[in-house]
A and B are shown apart, each in its own frame.
Chain A
Amino acid sequence: MAKVKSLADLKKIKEELHAKMDLREKSNDPEAQVQIKVGMATCGIASGAKEVMEFLIEATAKRGINSIVTQTGCMGYCYAEPTIEVTMPGKEPVVFGDVDLKKADEVIEKYIKQGELVDGIIPVNYKTIDNN
């Protein structure tokens, strides 16, 4: 690695490295972020959840949304895969079904950015131990 010759150099390196550490800093305060969980069980992956997850990670980062995208196991809605669960800061989680790339885009633009609900919401019918 070349020498850091000035403060501007240092700042530039920092910016480049920041993206790598970004995820760790966000994890310190997950409640302040948009949390998106993608159901990645066999059924989800078979229906394209992997691509949806990649898209969500990239699109939220590009559009300047502070988010944590994680994968989770089968949420039980195998009829509506891929499914994603979106938790806005301070709000109850909302589950969307049949999320393809187009739908994922719509969820970001409408629900996450403007708070409008979009079609395909699945009522949450379970509680998890995380909600303590």
Chain B
Amino acid sequence: MEKYKMHILICGGTGCRASASEAIQNNLQDALKAKGLEEEVQVVMTGCFGFCEKGPIVKILPDNTFYIEVKPEDAEEIIEEHIIKGRKVMRLLYTDPEKKEVVSDSKHMGFYKKQIRIALRNCGFINPENIDEYIATEGYAALGKCLTEMTPQAVIDEIKESGLRGRGGGGFPTGLKWEFASKNEADQKYVVCNADEGDPGAFMDRSILEGDPHSVLEAMAICGYTMGADKGLIYIRAEYPLAIDRLKVAIKQAREYGLLGNDILGSGFNFDVEMRYGAGAFVCGEETALIHSMEGLRGEPTVKPPFPAESGYNGKPTNVNNVETFANIPVIINKGAGWFNKIGTEKSTGTKVFALAGKINNVGLIEVPMGTTLREVIYEIGGGIKDGKKFKAVQTGGPSGGCLTEKHLDTPIDFDNLLAVGSMMGSGGMIVMDEDDCMVSVAKFYLDFTVEESCGKCTPCRVGNKRLYELLDKITEGKGTKEDLDLLRNLSTVIKDTSLCGLGQTSPNPVLSTIENFYDEYIAHVEEHKCPSGQCKALMQYVIDPELCVGCTLCARNCPVDCIAGDRKEAHIIDTAKCIKCGACMEKCKFNAISIQ
């Protein structure tokens, strides 16, 4: 195999590809060819580097130079300057926003300093479409070790010992789950990978599948070995086309190498993986609904027990794990449970991948040890709030989670701590909100989502969430009363207690946590009929300050509904009954005389 002197890694995640990273790759290759360097420099498209905020990312090795926001037309300059002359292209380097210093090596960037990448170990490091690169970085070694040196029970014990808990949100101990599935005897068993990532703003699982699909295949085979299953199924939403493509390539390559199929590594163990596509229904992330959807039935949950470990896909024992959970498995086998359980906290070992989104400077994908505080994640890794605004809340756990505030910032993140403060880990979405966000509207947004996604099987979820949404809508329209707040609380508790599955049992969480943490804001809506952050249109009023207004008539001339009256050089007045709150007047005013109340 040829040995290259330099490697150029380009991010091939969905985000960076949308910003033309494929064209960058082509241009780099063309430029290398033009200079006769294609034998010496290797260009590789990898998975996500995580720093999506500044994509597309191009990394040059061995000097570990990290270029951001690269455009296809920059390719020639990178080759000409960096590769040939050895001079870094300064304008494409990252500048630390606080120290104002140029950082060329990603290791010294605040974004990467606190991260430990286990599940994301190969994302941004190997070419996901090349099984050789996976094998070269310890790939399939864990499967080999399990098949030749360990009994199924020894593997289960190792996973139990590691303390790994399900990364899909529930946090159930993975080793125990495997043990249950292994103890149920049957002629056919199944391993299922849940890749139905449905939280708004979450893209952890997608990035793992796009950046390192083999790690999931390897872990599924290991799981199959422990429970005696020879068939694996990946349930993935059809709206993840790139992840599907890369998985298909990975499955094909693994079959060609005999790492999937019959008699793997001469051990007599058979295992193969197939894909099943979901239509993107949120409820299908719930394991019983997921299994029904795979069977061709309606994606509706059923009461547990029976658990899938007894009666799952086609009525056979089935073990369902999330993508990120699987991605951790090969590392635990290779490095040992003792290595893994020293990372993180006592009850939540290892790391967690989070998708940072919202009003934060460094939007992207991060992996931190459990026990890292929200403050570290938001300020040190995330680079703080956009435009220097004030932090208001962070939403974790998606539509099932809650909003946490300033006072929770120093809470170490783990499964139990987040539950204790009224939110949850969830699959790892983290949406940051600033002073401009109205918390009632945020709760309404999530309820809108759950109303849409409720499968309608049980009444509390189908009808209850709709009523919750209507109450919230009434409050944002300025028609709410204080009694409505009590009603919201009561109804939420009933829905939580009586719903059939996880969707309904958690959907009122955004309402409860915002009432709990932002009671003042609700009170302002129902008593003063005002929205403190100025987001609820129905409650806004544009007013002109007569002291500041010079009577230039600019606002009146720009008002689309002619609701501003006043003579030249006299203070103007807005007729609030006619005003449509478009904000055109405020934008045009040169004297800052117009404000929202």
Interface residues of A (CB under 8 A from B): 1, 3-7, 9-11, 13-14, 16-21, 23-30, 37, 39-41, 57, 68-73, 129-130, 132
Contact = CB atoms under 8 A, between A and B. Distances in A.
Interface stretch (B181-189, B234-242, B252-260, B407-415): B252-260
Contact of B85 (A1, A14, A41, A68): A41
Interface string B382-408: 000000000000000000000000000
Residue from B61, B137, B259 having most chain A Cβ neighbours under 10 A = B61
A14 B135 contact: yes
Contact of B87 (A4, A18, A73): A73
Given A23-B7, A132-B103, A1 B257 contact: yes
A72 B86 contact: yes
B125 interface: yes
A30 B65 CA distance: 11
Contact of A24 (B5, B102, B104, B125): B125
Given A7-B265, A10-B265, A25 B137 contact: yes
A65 B458 CA distance: 66
A3 B259 CA distance: 8
A129 B140 CA distance: 41
Given A10-B141, A17-B1, A4 B258 contact: yes
A19 B2 CA distance: 9
Contact of B1 (A20, A68, A130): A20
A57 B5 CA distance: 8
9 contacts: A5-B266, A7-B148, A17-B132, A17-B136, A20-B4, A21-B137, A23-B7, A24-B125, A71-B86
Residue from A4, A6, A30 having most chain B Cβ neighbours under 10 A = A4
Contact of B144 (A10, A16, A27, A68): A10
A27 B64 CA distance: 6
A130 B86 CA distance: 13
A10 B143 CA distance: 11
A71 B2 CA distance: 19
B105 interface: yes
Contact of B265 (A4, A14, A17, A29): A4
B141 A14 contact: yes
Contacts of B62: 23, 26-27, 30, 68-70
A122 B103 CA distance: 27
Contacts of A39: 86
B105 to A, nearest CB: 7
A69 B63 CA distance: 9
A129 B125 contact: no
Contacts, number: 109
B108 interface: yes
B118 to A, nearest CB: 14
A19 B4 contact: no
Contacts of A6: 265-266
Nearest to A6: B266
B578 interface: no
Contacts of A7: 144-145, 147-148, 265-266
B245 interface: no
B101 interface: yes
Interface in B256-282: 256-259, 265-266
B257 A73 contact: no
Contacts of A25: 137
B266 A30 contact: no
Contacts of B3: 19-20
B136 A30 contact: no
B64 A3 contact: no
A28 B9 CA distance: 13
Residue from B63, B86, B87, B125 having most chain A Cβ neighbours under 10 A = B86
Nearest to B60: A27
B133 interface: yes
Nearest to B106: A28
Residue from B107, B133, B135, B136 having most chain A Cβ neighbours under 10 A = B136
A70 B141 contact: no
Residue from A11, A16, A129 having most chain B Cβ neighbours under 10 A = A129
Contacts of B258: 3-5
Contacts of B7: 23-24, 27
B422 to A, nearest CB: 39
Contacts of A71: 86
B63 A10 contact: no
Nearest to A14: B135
A40 B101 CA distance: 27
A30 B148 CA distance: 36
Contacts of B135: 10, 13-14, 17
Contacts of B104: 129-130
Contacts of A16: 1
B63 A27 contact: yes
Contact of A4 (B107, B136, B138, B259): B259
B256 A1 contact: yes
Nearest to A18: B136
A11 B136 CA distance: 9
Contacts of A130: 104-105
A27 B265 contact: no
Contacts of A14: 135-136, 138-139, 141
